[in-house]
């Protein structure tokens, strides 16, 4: 990935699901801007970001480049529920024994396109990474997770996992995922899983039979579904707050 000031198009593999209207009118400088974080040796950094407001704007991109030094830990938790196009992109390089924990949730209806694009580079041995993305879509919206894991030569004992699940509340909504594993070491564990499904009708009826109205049952099921992505978040108050705010996005869902 380069920082050349060029405007991406949907012909670029990493931007294939992006909103073309957004790309056509996007600010070149903004779209090529990368935030950077360096986590010092043995330390932990975490960030939690929720993009819920800004319905009116055409889109946002948030690109972050992280270097986690030896034995350090970076945690990133993100929820997307706002404008027409939303993209969070992370490029994380892990040194010896470093860990990357990633939780991402998309919730959207209408014609929204919401996506997480990650590139995790295990550049030294003993690094671990765990990525969990949950997409809840309705209307004609799309939720995407493009996750690339690179294990360089010599990065033995790498343990990398990514998991994507999508819940499509209505016919017409969609989800895309593309795990990419590029492994040049022979003693590593890399796991990836993906599943796309609809709301569990059996569970919904069971809950209704106990007196829960459909909206309440749906809210509870969605809360349980997206909860996985924030399960590693130790701060209970922060976790509950982001879950509550995320669930508010369900307001206009059927």
Partner 1 sequence: MLKIDNLTAEIDGKTILNGLSLSINAGEVHAIMGPNGAGKSTLAYVLGGRPGYEVTGGSVSFMGKDLLDLEPHERAALGLFLGFQYPVEIPGVSNVQFLRESLNSQRKARGEDPLSGGDFLKLAREKAGLLKMDMEMLKRQVNVGFSGGEKKRAEMVQMGILDPTFAVLDETDSGLDIDALRIVGDGINAIMRKADKAVLLITHYQRLLDYVKPDFVHVLAAGRIVKTGGAELAHQLESEGYEAVAA
Closest CB 113 distance from partner 1, rounded Å? 26
Q: Which stretch binds partner 1 (CB under 8 A): 57-65, 104-112, 161-169, 195-203?
A: 195-203
Sheet with 59-68, edge to edge strand ranges: 35-39, 59-68, 85-94, 113-122, 142-151, 174-183
Q: Pick between residue 154 and residue 214 the one whose CB is nearest to partner 1.
A: 214
| Angstrom distance (rounded) from CA 132 to CA 140 | 23
Sheet with 128-137, edge to edge strand ranges: 44-51, 73-80, 99-108, 128-137, 159-168, 189-198
C-alpha dihedral sign at 26, 30, 32, 38:
negative
Compose the 147-186 pattern: x for residues touching partner 1 by CB under 8 A, - for all others.
Answer: ----------------------------------------
| Angstrom distance (rounded) from CA 174 to CA 252 | 17
Among residues 5, 56, 209, 237, the one that binds partner 1 under rule CB under 8 A = 209
Among residues 210, 237, 251, 252, the one that binds partner 1 under rule CB under 8 A = 210
Q: Which stretch binds partner 1 (CB under 8 A): 87-95, 119-127, 189-197, 212-220?
A: 212-220
Q: Which residues bind partner 1 (CB under 8 A)?
A: 201-203, 205-214, 216-217, 220-221, 223-225, 227-228
């Amino acid at each position: 990935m380069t920082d050349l000031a060029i405007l991406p198009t949907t012909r670029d593999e990493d931007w294939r699901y992006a909103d073309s209207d957004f790309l056509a009118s996007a600010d070149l400088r903004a779209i090529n801007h990368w935030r950077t974080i360096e986590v010092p040796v043995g330390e932990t950094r975490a960030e939690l970001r929720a993009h819920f407001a800004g319905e009116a704007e055409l889109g946002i991109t948030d690109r972050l480049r992280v270097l986690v030094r030896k034995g350090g830990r970076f945690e990133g938790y993100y929820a997307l529920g706002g404008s027409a196009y939303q993209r969070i992109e992370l490029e994380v390089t892990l040194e010896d024994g470093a860990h990357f924990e990633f939780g991402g949730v998309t919730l959207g209806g209408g014609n929204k396109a919401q996506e997480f694009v990650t590139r995790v580079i295990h550049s030294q041995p003993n690094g671990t990474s765990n990525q969990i993305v949950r997409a809840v879509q309705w209307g004609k919206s799309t939720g995407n997770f493009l996750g690339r894991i690179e294990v360089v030569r010599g990065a033995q004992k790498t343990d990398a996992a990514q998991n994507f699940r999508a819940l499509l509340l209505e016919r017409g909504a969609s989800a895309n995922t593309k795990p990419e594993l590029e492994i040049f070491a022979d003693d590593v564990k890399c796991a990836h899983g993906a599943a796309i499904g609809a709301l569990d009708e059996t569970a919904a009826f069971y809950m209704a039979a106990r007196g829960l109205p459909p909206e309440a049952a749906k809210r509870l099921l969605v809360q349980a579904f997206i909860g996985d992505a924030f399960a590693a978040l130790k701060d209970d108050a922060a976790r509950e707050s982001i879950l509550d705010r995320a669930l508010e996005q369900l307001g206009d869902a059927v």
